[in-house]
Amino acid sequence: MNVKMWGPILAGAVIEAIGIILFVIYGYIFMSKPASFIFSYGSMDFAAFALSIVGLALIMFGGYQKK
């Protein structure tokens, strides 16, 4: 197993999963109050965006390490 390649890919996949979980939690909190239906960004949403970008960068870096 090429740790140089699969290490960043698997770490990025875990970070992506955490980001998706944050998106789902944010959506659930957002939709649980139908009276406040105006979409607004929150800190959890920004954290999920940041984690998704970092996870994608790690996955792409791992793909770049493939020989």
pLDDT in tens, 6-56: 999 999 999 999 999 999 988 888 777 766 666 667 788 889 999 999 999
Tell me how many domains the chain contains. Answer: 1
Range of the domain at 16: 3-64
Amino acid at 30: F
Structure tokens belonging to residue 47: 């954290």
| CA Rg value for the chain | 16
Residue 32: predicted pLDDT: 76
Rounded to the nearest angstrom, the gap between the alpha carbon of residue 54 and the centroid of all alpha carbons in its chain is 8
Residues making up the chain, counted from first to last: 67
Residue 42: predicted pLDDT: 74
